[in-house]
Amino acid sequence: MAAAVARGVSVPELPRLLARDPYLAPFAPDFQRRYTLFHDRLRNIEENEGGLDKFSKSYKTFGVNQLVDGGLYCKEWAPGAEGVFLTGDFNGWNPFSHPYKKIDYGKWELFIPPGQDGFSPVPHGSKLKVVIRSKNGEILYRISPWAKYVARVDRNVNYDWIHWEPPLPYLRKHPQPKKPKSLRIYESHVGIASPDGKVASYKNFTYNILPKIKDLGYNCVQLMAIMEHAYYASFGYQITSFFAASSRYGTPDDLKELIDVAHSLGITVLLDVVHSHASNNSEDGLNKFDGTDSCFFHSGPRGTHSLWDSRLFDYSNWEVLRFLLSNLRWWIEEYGFDGFRFDGVTSMLYHNHGIGTGFSGDYHEYFGLHVDEDALIYLIMANHMIHLLHPESITVAETSEHHAVRNLSETALHISAREVSGMPALCCPIAQGGSGFDYRLAMAIPDKWIQIIKELKDEDWNMGNIVYTLTNRRYEEKYIAYAESHDQALVGDKTLAFRLMDAEMYTNMSVLSPLTPVIDRGIQLHKMIRLITHALGGEGYLNFMGNEFGHPEWLDFPRKGNNESYHYARRQFHLADDHILRYRFLNAFDRDMNKLEERFGWLASPPAFVTETHESNKVIVFERANLIFIFNFHPSKSYAEYRVGAETQGKYPFIYYSAWS
C-alpha cells in the first residue's frame, strides 16, 4: 500500500469533501490511498482484461454458454482442482467423458461441438454438474458458480443445475424508467406476497401486487430473496447460486416479465443484492467448489462469519472481482434491474464485521487497519462500473453500525450517541474520495421509534430527540428514511402497528365495533410517525409490504420451529380492501402521503427547516418543499389558532388528514 500511495494518484475533488467536513482533513492520506488502490485496480483491468466493460461481462464466457453454431463453450475457475469435467443428462452422467483443459491462472475450458443436427448437445431443461477431482483425489459433484438456473426437483434436498437456454426467451417490451428524483421504495418479497399459505409466484406479484404498489404511489420496488438460496427461511440472505433467479417463484422469464411490467407502470426495480457473504453449502453452493476451503473465499477463520455461519469473499482476488462485478452486470442487463440495495455493507467494511462493536463517532473508527480496504475498493469499483455503464441505475448501502455521527451542515455540528449511518463519504462521489453510493439507509430512525413506543409514556415523548434523530445525517449524503422495514416485521420483533395496538388488532379493527382508545391512538400515531419520517427523515422513503396498512401479524418462514408452517409467511392484502375493517384508513393515508410527495417533491428538496420543537405542547413544525408541516403529538390537547412561524410570507392552503378520510 505504501508503494501505491507513493505513486500519488490525486483524488480529483477531495478538497470539496474536506471543505464540507474539515474534521476529515487528518484522514486525507487514507482517502488518497483508497483512491489510488481503486485507480490501480481499474488500470490493471484495462491493461489485462480489455477494459471494465469486457471484464464485467464474463458471464458470457464463464459457466456454460451456447455459441452461434449451436456448440457450447464452458469455462470455470477452479485453482485447487486437479481435474475438471462436465457431466449430465447429455452424456448419460458419465463423469469423465468431457474433460476441461487447464489454461492460465487456475482456469479450465471445454468446447463441445454442436450435434449433427446443428443443435446444442445439451438440451434446454436438462441437468448438468461440474465434476471436480481434488488434489487429494476426491471426486466432487458441483454446480457451476455461473449457473443461470437451479431448482429443487421433486423431493430432493439439494438443488439441481438445469441448463437454461429457451428457444424463445422473453423479450422486453418496455423501456427502463428514468431515475426518480424522489425515491419511494416498496420493499417486497415475492414468496410472501399472497394471503395464501404457500410460496407465491412471480406471476402473482406481476398481476396482483404491482398494481397495488402503483396505486399506493410508490415509484420503486425493492425485491428481496431473488438470488437463489437453498434455505427459504434465510429471507434470501444465504445465497447458493448468485446468477440464478430463485426458481421457487417461477422461471427466469417470469421474473423478466415482472420487471418489464413494473417498467410499463413507471416503477423502478431494485435488487437486494448479497455480496457480503455466501451460504456455506458445498453440494449446491460456492463453498469448497474446487475442493479447497478457499477459492472464492478467504481460507481459515477469516473466511467464515462467526454469527452468520457463512463464507466471506476474498475481495482482493482477481477472479472474485470478476465474478462479483459480472454478477451485478448480469442482473442489470439480463433481467433489467435498475440498481441494487447492497446488503451487509457493515460486515464488508470492517475486519470484525461490526460484531460486538459500539461506534462512538470518533473518525478514527472508520480509518486504519481495522477497515477491510479490499472490500471497500470492491464497493467503489462496483459503484464506478454501475454508474459508468448504466448512469440511470441506483445503488443503496445498508449499513448497521451504531455510533455517533458528526453532521456538518451550514449551521451546526451535531454529535449523537445513537445514530446508524456508517463510514463518512460512503454516499459521496468517487471523485471526492467517496464510495459512490447514491443512498444509504437511515437505520437509526426505526430504532428510535421502537425505543419511544416501548419505553416512554405519551406525555414523556421528547420532541427535540425525535427531530434530532430524523435530521441527524451527514450533509450532502442522501438517506433512505423509514419507520420500519422487514426487520421489524420478523418473528421476535413487532411492527409499529402491533406495538401500538397489540391484541386489539384481532378484535377491534372492525368499524362495526366501538372505536377503543387503543385503536384510536394506534391509528393516529401510525399515520403521524410515517408522515414525519417521510417528510423529515431523508431524501428517500421505504416501506415494507403490508406495513402501510398495519399488517396485524409478524413474519415467520416455514421452519422446524413452527412445524414448517406457512401461516405467517404471507401478507393479507385483503384486509386493506375490506371496507368493514379500519386497515383501509391506514392504507388510504399511505396512498395520500405518497401522492402528496409526488406532487410537491419534498424528498428531492433540500433538508427541512425546523421552526419549532415545543416540549410542553408536544408540537413539531418544519418547512420543506414550500410546505409547512405541523405535528401535534400531545396525547390529550388540541390547539385552536395555533401560531407558527413561516420563512415566506403568504397564504398557505390547509391540508388536514383525519383518521377516517
Which residues are known catalytic residues? Answer: 343, 398
User: Which residues of 107-170 form beta strands (DSSP E)?
Assistant: 107-112, 127-134, 139-142, 150-151, 160-162
Cα–Cα distance, 399 to 435 (Å, whole number): 13
In sequence order, what are the residues at sequence separation of 6 or more whose Cβ sits closer than 8 angstroms to the Cβ of residue 640?
Answer: none
User: Which residue in this structure is represented by grid cell 422495514?
Assistant: 485
In sequence order, what are the residues at sequence separation of 6 or more whose Cβ sits closer than 8 angstroms to the Cβ of residue 30?
Answer: 367, 368
Cα–Cα distance, 640 to 261 (Å, whole number): 48
Please state the φ and ψ torsions of residue 479, each to the nearest 5 degrees. Answer: -120, 145
Collapsing DSSP to helix, strand or coil, 274 comes out as coil
Q: Which of 271, 272, 266 is nearest to 211 (CA)?
A: 266
Are 350 and 371 in contact by the 8 Å Cβ rule? The answer is yes
Are 345 and 399 in contact by the 8 Å Cβ rule? The answer is yes
- The CA-atom distances, in angstroms, between 559 and each of 247, 306, 481 are 19, 22, 32
Dihedral, CA of residue 43, residue 49, residue 50 and residue 56, to nearest 10: -90
- Beta pairing class for 479-481 and 439-441: parallel
Alpha helices, H only, 537-582: 574-577
First-last CA distance in the chain: 62
Is the alpha carbon torsion for 214, 592, 598, 527 positive or negative? Answer: negative
DSSP state of 305: E
Q: How far is CA 140 from the centre of its chain?
A: 33
In sequence order, what are the residues at sequence separation of 6 or more whose Cβ sits closer than 8 angstroms to the Cβ of residue 342?
Answer: 273, 275, 276, 379, 382, 395, 396, 397, 398, 437
